[in-house]
Amino acid sequence: DRDNEPGGIVVVGLGRFGGHLAGALIRLDHEVLAIDRNADLVQRWSDQLDRVAQADATDEDTLRQLGVAEFRRAVVAIGASVEASVLTVLALVELGVPQVWARATSAKHAKILASVGAHHVIFPEAETGEHVAHLIVTRMLNF
């Protein structure tokens, strides 16, 4: 229900990044609908998540059938395949999901994500690298 914030969040891709993200959202008491095309991963996550679906998220009709259009927020956590990531963002935007977050692995990937309508683009590897650099420098100053 779109009027029901905080409400549920769709997470596409249960790799290392998407898996940790989904787990953290659950611990923050959010309902998560997770989608991954890998049946083993879906099986592995099925006890922890309220809803996990095995599906190809690039397909708009499949997403509609899963009820994704009712969600206000979605995160595309696919990294390795730029094509799958871009097509999934496009499908979510076409469905009218108002807040689409997408993971980029390069500056060009980020540009494409923004041009197909992603509302927020995130760079987990770059952000973590920067964060750890700051941690190390701070510790060198303090200890």
Query: Contact residues for ligand ATP (CB under 6 A)?
Result: 12-18, 35-38, 41, 56-58, 78-81, 84
Complex with ligand ATP: residue 58 or 90, whichever CB lies closer: 58
Q: How far is the CB of 70 from ligand ATP (least distance, A)?
A: 19
**CB 26, CB 48: distance < 8 Å:** yes
Complex with ligand ATP: residue 20 or 111, whichever CB lies closer: 20
Q: What is the rounded CA–CA span in Å between residue 20 and residue 68?
A: 21
Complex with ligand ATP: residue 8 or 14, whichever CB lies closer: 14
Q: How far is the CB of 62 from ligand ATP (least distance, A)?
A: 9
Q: What is the rounded CA–CA span in Å between residue 58 and residue 51?
A: 18
If we measure between CA atoms, which residue out of 81, 18, 84 comes closest to residue 52? 18
